[in-house]
Structure 1
C-alpha cells in the first residue's frame, strides 16, 4: 500500500530516487505509464500484471476499452530500480507529466503517482476544499 507525499528532485539525467519506504515493494520491478491528470502512474510489476489480467476481460469491441488500453500501454515502461532505489524516467513520460526538477511522489493506494510539483500543488489546492466539504458518500459503502 502506498501512502504519503514526498518531494524528490529529478537529476540532470532524468533520474528519480524513490522514498526509502517504497523501495522494497518496487525492488523486483515496476511499470511506469501515463496516469490521469498528466501524472505518471507507477505500479509494482505484479500489481500491473494483475491490472492487465483484469483488462483482458474487457470487451475490445468497445472503442473506450481500445482507446484506454492504447494510451495506457503505449506509454508503459517496465523498469528495475538500481540499488539506490533510483529509476530513469523516459523522456516521453517526463514530457507528458511536464516534469522538470521539482517533483511530487504521492501514494495512491495500489500505485505511486509522479507529478510536476507545481501541477500537484495546483491540483491539491483546487480539490482540497471540495474534499473538506464532502458530506455524502464519495465511494459508496466506504466513505
Structure 2
C-alpha cells in the first residue's frame, strides 16, 4: 500500500477533516494519528502503525534519543475510524502541534499520510525544492 498525491482538505469547526478520497479505502478500517516531524500530523494505517510500534520496541530504552523519540511519537497517538463520509477528528493536541486551524494540505508520503497547515507546507516545500535533486543522490543512490 502506498499513499501519494497532494490534496487540500479543510478542518471544520469541530476539528474534523475529510480524508482525500484516494486515501479512504486504505484507511477505512481505522488509523492512528500522531505527531510527525516538522510539526505535521502523521496518519498511519493500523497495520503500518503496528509494524512501527514493533520496530520502536526493538530500540534500547537506555538511550535517551530512543526514549525521547518514543515519548513524542506515542504520547500524541490517537486511534480513529473514519465516519461514513470519510471524516476523521484530529485531537486538539495534534491540531496544536501542527498549527492546524482551517486550510490544510494532506500529502501521501509512501507508507503514511501527512497533514500540514497549508502555509507551513508551502514554506517547507519552497525551502526544500532547491535541494530535491541533491537529496536523491543521498537518499537513493544509483536511482536512474
TM-score interval for Structure 1 and Structure 2 normalised by the shorter chain: over 0.9
**Equivalent residue, structure 1, for 2:72:** 71
Return closer, same or farther for 1:142/1:113 CA change in 2, 3 Å cut-off: farther
**Equivalent residue, structure 2, for 1:128:** 129
Return closer, same or farther for 1:19/1:136 CA change in 2, 3 Å cut-off: closer
2-structure distance, mates of 1:129, 1:117: 19
**Equivalent residue, structure 2, for 1:138:** 138
Give the length in aligned residue pairs. 142
5+ residue gaps, structure 2: none
Return closer, same or farther for 1:90/1:142 CA change in 2, 3 Å cut-off: farther
> Which contiguous aligned blocks of 4+ residues in structure 1 show a shift greater than 4 angstroms?
none
2-structure distance, mates of 1:135, 1:96: 27
How far did residue 135 of structure 1 move? 7.7
SS in 2 for 1:54: helix
How far did residue 137 of structure 1 move? 1.6
How far did residue 129 of structure 1 move? 1.1
Correspondence 1:49 to 2:50: yes
Return closer, same or farther for 1:141/1:91 CA change in 2, 3 Å cut-off: same
Query: Could you say what the CA RMSD is over the residues aligned between the two structures, in angstroms?
Result: 1.3
**Equivalent residue, structure 1, for 2:31:** 30
5+ residue gaps, structure 1: none
How does the TM-score come out when normalised to structure 2?
Answer: 0.94
How does the TM-score come out when normalised to structure 1?
Answer: 0.95
**Equivalent residue, structure 2, for 1:109:** 110
